[in-house]
Amino acid sequence: MGVKLARKKPRILWASLFYRVHKLLPLSSKAKFKLYLNMAWWFERLSHEMSFRYYNAQNHPLRIHPRKFLQRHLNKDFTVLDLGCHSGDITVMAAEVSKKVVGIDYNAGAIEQAKATYKRDNLTFIAGEAFEFLSKNEEKFDVLILSHILEHLDNPQSFLDTFKGFFRYIYIELPDFDKSYHNHYRKDLNLQLVYTDDDHVSEFDRDELAAI
């Protein structure tokens, strides 16, 4: 849910000072616009990084909706593969519901962290390559989890085509380019800081998300 606010807001000193400085800056409106967009990107990125120090992994607001979605749609009889599971924060959510869950990642250090953090009888973590694992594994999986994977790939559609035959369902989570008008301002102004992570090669808008 959102928030309810008093119509009359308390005066915030630093915000008032910033507006005064804004009026005094010897820059054009366009230059100020670009400067503030870059500053907003920088502060949003820093606050995002700091949020993972403030919240623990399972209580982070970014995890609330994925957990609710998985709990609502996963079946207790499902077997689930979390591809690119990293430290297992999403993997363990699936394991709270389904009978067997495997997390796989080529980052051996992240897998060791996942093994140390999350211990459940129905949960296994594997360091390795997912296609090789699936090709050698006789067991069938019902669900593939792709949480923040496709935005890192040069050809996400080819990747999906490779894996979709192994599963009945695929859960896909991606960053939302349309979450803020700032992203569209940055795109219009051709600013470099228009991504949410240095390793992203795609930032999907909602039409692209629906197409995927």
pLDDT of residue 210: 80
Mean pLDDT of 52-80: 93
Environment class of residue 16 by beta-carbon count within 10 Å: exposed (0-12), middle (13-18) or buried (19+)?
exposed
Q: How confident is the model at residue 104 (pLDDT cuts 50, 70, 90)?
A: very high
Q: How confident is the model at residue 28 (pLDDT cuts 50, 70, 90)?
A: very high
Query: Which letter does DSSP use for residue 10 in this model?
Result: P
Mean pLDDT of 64-90: 95
Mean pLDDT of 98-116: 97
Q: What sign for the dihedral angle of Cα 146, 151, 154, 155?
A: positive
Percent of the chain scoring above 90 in pLDDT: 70
Q: Is 152 left (phi over 0), alpha (psi -120 to 50) or beta?
A: alpha
| pLDDT reading at 56 higher than 80 | yes
Can you name the CATH fold of 61-173? Rossmann fold (3.40.50)
Distance CA(30)–CA(185), nearest Å, equals 11
Q: What is the pTM of this model?
A: 0.86
Q: Which tokens in the block code for residue 203? A: 């930032």
Q: Whose CA is closest to 100, among 108, 111, 89, 91?
A: 91
Per DSSP (E only), the strands in the chain are: 79-83, 100-105, 123-127, 143-147, 169-173
pLDDT of residue 177: 87
| pLDDT reading at 5 higher than 90 | no
Backbone angles phi, psi at 46, to 5 degrees: -65, -40
Domain ranges of the chain: 30-56+176-211, 61-173
Q: How confident is the model at residue 111 (pLDDT cuts 50, 70, 90)?
A: very high
Mean per-residue pLDDT of the chain: 92
